[in-house]
Amino acid sequence: MSETINASTVRSKTSRMSSDKLAEIEQLLARRREGFSLEAPFYTDTQLFQFDTEAIFGQHWLFAASIAELPEPGDYVTVDYGPYSLIVLHNDDGGINVLHNVCRHRGARIMNQSSGTTGNLVCGYHSWTYSPEGELIYASIPGEMDFNKQCFALRRAHSRVVAGLIFVCLAEEPPEDFDHVSQIFEPYVAPHELTKTKVAYQQDLIEGANWKLVMENNRECYHCDGHPELLCSYFPTYGLTEDLVPPHLEEAWERSIQAEDVLRQRCQRYGLPYEEIEELDTRVVGIRIARDALDGEGESFSVDGRRLSKKLLGDLPDFRLGRCSMHLQPNSWFHFLSDHAITFAVFPIGVDRTLVRTTWLVADDAVEGVDYDLQQLTHTWEQTNTQDQELVELAQRGISSPVYEQGPYMRSEYQVEAFINWYIQRAREYMP
């Protein structure tokens, strides 16, 4: 784990919103009804969206990209969280610098591509040039005598890289428990050696829904009948407990119990962590991580559960390792398998528009067409994402009706409620 501490971060906890609006939001937060979905303004009010960009995206650790998206020194990606734009740059020391994508001269966006390779960072407007650390090193200013370039470095954000996953934080003082949480998940993720993977495919979906609806949708499988491809590898009893299994699923239940037993023993044999850890709303960096068996061959997200890439990730000893799934608040989830990994990052665009970026990673020596078929590799989650897009857009449209009222969460939706609990706590903490 590499760490970057930045002296010149920007955001303080002072809201740019009017005190009237903050008071209105405080009332909405105060009358939150436990066990029920949020009131409509949380999903439809543009000022509440601005609040979210401040209180959630401006204050917390956010997943940005995996190292496979910028493998070489000089590689960069740009990511936008609402109105914020960041350059995530692989520096010459192998570390990651995160810089606000705003020139200090007249405010132009510096890097206008979603990814690329660069040496210094040159603004396209007047060629102000910054080092990869963000220092202003060149500005063609004939005769400008009293100009102190040191005062005009790019604004930086905090960043951490854990097991090949890059996280950023825009707050001046990031939440402290990230270290603890990264110690939780690093042993699960590290064996998949994401630093030795490459991007097989990346899908950007712009969904017509508030970012919280996108997250809520990810946090339950109560709607998974709408995901026939995914249900090939998930057990049909997924989410049930023994007392709830209906007669026609008893056989599947037995099959899943056996598969979990075998997987647990296999993990113990290989020294791979297995147990579920769940702290979704009990800490500032909310997390859930667990390893679950898959149906069929139990190797990957395919129709029959068989591997989708012939190359194992890292030094993993076996293809039959199910899925190691991680969920982080507020904007990401992940599936780490033996043959590939998938990262999901959520970037809010507007009150009812959200970018969901899905990235498929395979071993860096896997050859497309030989070791894996790209269409097969991505099929299950491309379909699942498109189905989810339709579902969250139905939710956004329905909630926009004046007659919408808060509905009850079911037991199988407890992780949705945990997300909402986490959100409400963070929002309350942000209040002055």
Site residues (CB under 8 A) for a copy of itself? 10-11, 16, 37, 40, 53-54, 58, 83-85, 100-110, 112, 124-127, 139-144, 147, 152, 155, 216, 222-223, 225-226, 240-241, 243-244, 246, 390-391, 394-395, 397-405, 407-408, 410-412
Q: Which is nearer to a copy of itself, 105 or 353 (CB)?
A: 105
Question: Cis before residue 348, ω within 30 degrees of 0?
Answer: no
Q: Is 369 left (phi over 0), alpha (psi -120 to 50) or beta?
A: left
For a copy of itself, the closer of residues 2 and 120 by Cβ is 120
**Least distance in angstroms from the C-beta of 111 to a copy of itself:** 10
Which residue, 187 or 407, has its beta carbon nearer to a copy of itself?
Answer: 407
Token pair recorded at residue 429: 């903490």
Contact residues for 149 (Cβ-Cβ < 8 A; gap 6+): 135, 136, 137, 139
Q: Which amino acid is at 391?
A: L
Integer CA distances (angstroms), 300 to 5, 292, 303, 341, in order: 38, 11, 9, 10
Minimum Å gap between C-beta 246 and a copy of itself is 8
Work out how close the CB of 43 gets to a copy of itself at its nearest, in angstroms, rounded to a whole number. Answer: 8
- CB of residue 136 vs a copy of itself: minimum separation in angstroms? 11
**Closest to a copy of itself by CB, 25 or 391:** 391
Measured from the CB atom, the residue of 248 and 315 that comes closer to a copy of itself is 248
CB of 406 vs a copy of itself, minimal distance in Å:
8
Q: How far is the CB of 124 from a copy of itself (least distance, A)?
A: 6
Question: At closest approach, how far in Å is the CB of 214 from a copy of itself?
Answer: 13
**For 389, how many CA atoms within 13 A lie in the half-sphere containing its CB?**
19
- Distant-in-sequence contacts of 134-139, Cβ < 8 A, 24+ apart: 134/97, 134/99, 136/104, 139/105
CA distance 417 to 216: 8
CA distance 105 to 123: 9
Q: How far is the CB of 102 from a copy of itself (least distance, A)?
A: 5
**285/328 Cα distance (integer angstroms):** 7
Q: DSSP string covering 325-355, please?
A: EEEETTTEEEEE-SSEEEEEEEEEEETTEEE
Exposed (0-12), middle (13-18) or buried (19+): which is 300, by Cβ within 10 Å? buried
199 vs 213, beta carbon nearer a copy of itself = 213
- Cβ-based nearer residue to a copy of itself, 15 or 300: 15
Q: Based on CB atoms, which residue is closest to a copy of itself, 27 or 375?
A: 27
